[in-house]
């Protein structure tokens, strides 16, 4: 049985359903806390309950694996850790066109989409998620629960701490130091120096703006 459930029936969940189907993984349903979706079909796949319903034996008996491709880093990590405690597997997904270099060390439940490239001697924690055509240089240390959107360019020799969120098309300069825990890099930004934890930076060169 290679049956899976996806947490989140939004657009990310929908694209993962398509990619998983392409690899022969049978997505039997979504779970989603939006109660308006319950009982509906999304791209032909039923929404079979809320996230807490994953604990129900009638759902557990039907699927072995959980995928949670949602952009909210802390929630993605929380849902995947809970799913694992319930006895589900939480596999990684690497699109067949992703290029993961030799000597890259990766943790669990990592998602890497089409055309993304990770160079050797980079290490990545658990619950990492990157969209298409993102490149990550060598000797980068990436923590847990980090999200990178599409077209991000990460240089080499730097640290990205847990739960950082890097917006579409951002560039992170080689050797700049640290992208702090929980920080947010705005779309298209060019980051040339260390970013403090829990801050938001935007623009070229990236500057801090107030966090909402
Ligand atoms: C395919 C996918 O993966 S989709 C998911 C990817 N998502 C993204 O890449 C989105 C990333 N989010 C952003 O870039 C957002 O603009 C944020 C989070 C950085 C800021 O959003 P908000 O907090 O709502 O800020 P707001 O829109 O009010 O802008 C505040 C100021 O920052 C500026 N600003 C906001 N974002 C950017 C940006 N990316 N680059 C340059 N300036 C920006 C605004 O122009 C504004 O400037 P002003 O005060 O001089 O007028």
What confidence tier does 2 reach under pLDDT thresholds 50, 70, 90?
Answer: confident
100-136 pLDDT, tens per residue? Answer: 999 999 999 999 999 999 999 999 999 999 999 999 9
* Number of domains comprising the chain: 2
Q: How far is the CA of 187 from the centre of ligand 1 (A)?
A: 6
Residue 212 lies in a domain: no
pLDDT on residue 1: 64
3-53: per-residue pLDDT in tens? 999 999 999 999 999 999 999 999 999 999 998 999 899 999 999 999 999
Distance of alpha carbon 101 from alpha carbon 109, whole angstroms:
18
**182, 197 in Cβ contact below 8 A?**
yes
pLDDT digits (tens, 9 = 90+) for 129-162: 999 999 999 999 999 999 999 999 999 999 999 9
Q: Are residues 42 and 85 in the same domain?
A: yes
* pLDDT given for residue 45 in this prediction: 98
**Domain co-membership, 87 together with 102:** no
> ∠ CA 71-32-161 to the nearest 5 degrees?
25
Distance CA 126, CA 118 (A): 15
Question: Do 99 and 196 fall within a single domain?
Answer: yes
Instruction: Using the mean position of ligand 1's atoms as its centre, give its distance from the Cα of residue 76 in Å.
Output: 22
Q: Which domain holds residue 71?
A: 3-91
| Beta sheet of 93-94, edge-to-edge order | 93-94, 111-112, 129-130, 147-148, 165-166, 184-185, 200-202, 207-209
Atom of ligand 1 nearest to the CA of 189: 40
| Rounded distance from Cα 23 to ligand 1 centre (Å) | 35
- Same domain assignment for residues 114 and 198: yes
């Amino acid at each position: 049985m290679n049956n899976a459930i996806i947490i989140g029936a939004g657009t990310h969940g929908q694209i993962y359903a398509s990619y998983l189907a392409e690899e022969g993984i049978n997505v039997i349903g979504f779970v989603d806390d939006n109660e308006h979706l319950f009982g509906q079909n999304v791209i032909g796949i039923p929404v079979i309950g809320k996230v807490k319903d994953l604990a129900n034996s009638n759902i557990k008996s039907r699927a072995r694996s959980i995928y949670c491709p949602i952009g909210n880093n802390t929630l993605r990590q929380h849902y995947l850790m809970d799913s694992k405690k319930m006895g589900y597997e939480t596999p990684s997904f690497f699109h067949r066109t992703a290029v993961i270099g030799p000597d890259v060390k990766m943790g669990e439940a990592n998602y890497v989409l089409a055309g993304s490239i990770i160079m050797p001697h980079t290490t990545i924690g658990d619950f990492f998620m990157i969209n298409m055509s993102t490149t990550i240089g060598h000797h980068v240390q990436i923590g847990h629960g980090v999200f990178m959107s599409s077209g991000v360019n990460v240089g080499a020799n730097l640290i990205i701490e847990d739960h950082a969120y890097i917006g579409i098309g951002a560039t992170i300069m080689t050797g700049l130091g640290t992208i702090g825990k929980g920080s947010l890099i705005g779309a298209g930004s060019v980051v040339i120096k260390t970013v403090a934890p829990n801050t938001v930076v935007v623009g070229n060169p990236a500057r801090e703006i107030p966090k909402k």
